[in-house]
Amino acid sequence: MILKELYELTENMLAAAGVEDHRFNTDCLFEDILDADKVTLLLNGDREVPEPDADRLMSAAEKRCSGIPLQYILGKWDFYGRTFFVGDGVLIPRPDTEILVERVLEHFEKAGNSSPEICDLCSGSGCIAVTLKKELPKAKIHAVELSSDAMPYLIKNIQSNGADVKIIKGDITDGRLLENFLDPDDFGEYRKIDGIVSNPPYITDKEMTELSREVKHEPEIALRGGADGLKFYRIISALWGEILKDGGLIAFEIGYEQGEAVRDILRKSGYKNIEIHKDLSGNDRVVTGIK
Ligand SMILES: C[S@@+](CC[C@H](N)C(=O)[O-])C[C@H]1O[C@@H](n2cnc3c(N)ncnc32)[C@H](O)[C@@H]1O
């Protein structure tokens, strides 16, 4: 089959299977699997595609038609201009999370602190931790993650991006994890850090029953945030606030309907200057506070 016929076939397959943005998906599969971008299609559309290549393309298209996310098929996705490996067991980095990173960078720039110590809780692919380290090369960044399935991606993404991020494997709801921050010079006391950032699981139990077929492929541990979706905000604000300096930043990504509830959680935990920031669609997406 020639290239342009294969393109038409793939696009029609994806459209018939109800894949949103089927043309964009087809473009990505062609670029990744056949190294054929739009210009190649225009100039060399009549080129014969070798059968093994066409088979690989078809097999990827069938996966996409069955609802497997495009990012898992490609095995990588971009976040804040850098590439992150993704696949089964790890959440796909979202553009909304870039807003969280921007707010954190903005805070430390305004504070004139180019070497903050920051803890990224629920790190997943490491997109937040790695980006912070690359944008603030003098910062000390910790990435905390529980999932053994996500861990290989976190390690690989730290290495492939050449980011010196320290991994802590464990459950952020377990207070013993704070022992990583015990002060060697002050017995029993914690060393205080400048920032806590997290995009925790925040989907409610009800929303978990209404996920799109693509999101259903992503790990439940990365999504489920308890009955009201707020479990992790309560725990992080109270527990991890223990290691935050006075004047330190706490910054959360939130579900678009959770702004006021998370503001309330931070207020009750004693944080000040609480702000809700919007994403590019005008939805509440990030909440920040100062200890
Ligand atoms: C919403 S994802 C965020 C991943 C990544 N930070 C991002 O923004 O793309 C939440 C992450 O929290 C992890 N997680 C869930 N429960 C956890 C826990 N109790 N302790 C540590 N990590 C946890 C999940 O495995 C998942 O990687």
Residue nearest to atom 16 of ligand 1 (CA): 221
Q: Assess if residue 71 is contained within a domain.
A: no
Distance 268 CA to ligand 1 centre (A): 24
Token duo for residue 194: 């400048």
Q: Assess if residue 73 is contained within a domain.
A: no
pLDDT given for residue 3 in this prediction:
95
Q: Assess if residue 181 is contained within a domain.
A: yes
Q: Are 224 and 149 members of one domain?
A: yes
CA of 202, closest atom in ligand 1: 1
Residue nearest to atom 20 of ligand 1 (CA): 171
Dihedral-angle region of residue 273 (phi above 0 means left; psi in -120 to 50 means alpha; beta otherwise): left
Under the banding of pLDDT at 50, 70 and 90, the label for residue 27 is very high
pLDDT given for residue 221 in this prediction:
96
Average pLDDT score, the chain: 97
Q: Assess if residue 218 is contained within a domain.
A: yes
Distance 142 CA to ligand 1 centre (A): 14
Query: For every residue of 81-118, which 3-state class applies, written as one string?
Result: CEEEECCCCCCCCCHHHHHHHHHHHHHHHHCCCCCCEE
Q: Model's pTM, two decimal places?
A: 0.96
Return the percentage of the chain with pLDDT > 90, whole number: 98
Residue nearest to atom 27 of ligand 1 (CA): 124
pLDDT given for residue 73 in this prediction:
97
Dihedral-angle region of residue 279 (phi above 0 means left; psi in -120 to 50 means alpha; beta otherwise): beta
Under the banding of pLDDT at 50, 70 and 90, the label for residue 100 is very high
160-166: long-range contacts at Cβ-Cβ below 8 A with a sequence spacing of 24 or more? Answer: 160/83, 160/85, 161/82, 161/83, 161/84, 161/130, 161/134, 163/126, 163/129, 163/130, 163/133, 163/134, 164/133, 165/126, 165/129, 165/130, 165/133, 165/141, 166/140, 166/141, 166/142
Q: Which of 147, 148, 177 maximizes ligand 1 atoms within 8 Å of its Cβ, making it the mutation to test the pocket?
A: 147
Task: Name the helix (H) or strand (E) containing 165.
Answer: strand 165-169
Distance 64 CA to ligand 1 centre (A): 25
20-41: average pLDDT: 95
Domains contained in the chain, number: 2
Q: Report residues whose beta carbon is within 6 angstroms of any ligand 1 atom.
A: 91, 93, 97, 122-125, 127-128, 144-147, 150, 171-173, 199-201, 221-222
Distance 201 CA to ligand 1 centre (A): 6
Residue nearest to atom 2 of ligand 1 (CA): 222
The residues facing 275 across adjacent strands are: 288
Under the banding of pLDDT at 50, 70 and 90, the label for residue 257 is very high
Q: Are 97 and 152 members of one domain?
A: yes
161-174: average pLDDT: 98
Q: Assess if residue 72 is contained within a domain.
A: no
Distance 202 CA to ligand 1 centre (A): 10
Last residue of a domain, one of 45, 66, 87: 66
Q: Are 15 and 145 members of one domain?
A: no
Convert the pLDDT of each residue in 175-219 to its tens digit: 999 999 999 999 889 999 999 999 999 999 999 999 999 999 999
Q: Are 196 and 141 members of one domain?
A: yes
Q: Assess if residue 203 is contained within a domain.
A: yes
Domain hosting residue 127, numbered range: 79-290
Residue nearest to atom 10 of ligand 1 (CA): 222
CA of 201, closest atom in ligand 1: 1
pLDDT given for residue 120 in this prediction:
98
Distance 232 CA to ligand 1 centre (A): 10
pLDDT given for residue 31 in this prediction:
96
114-118: average pLDDT: 98
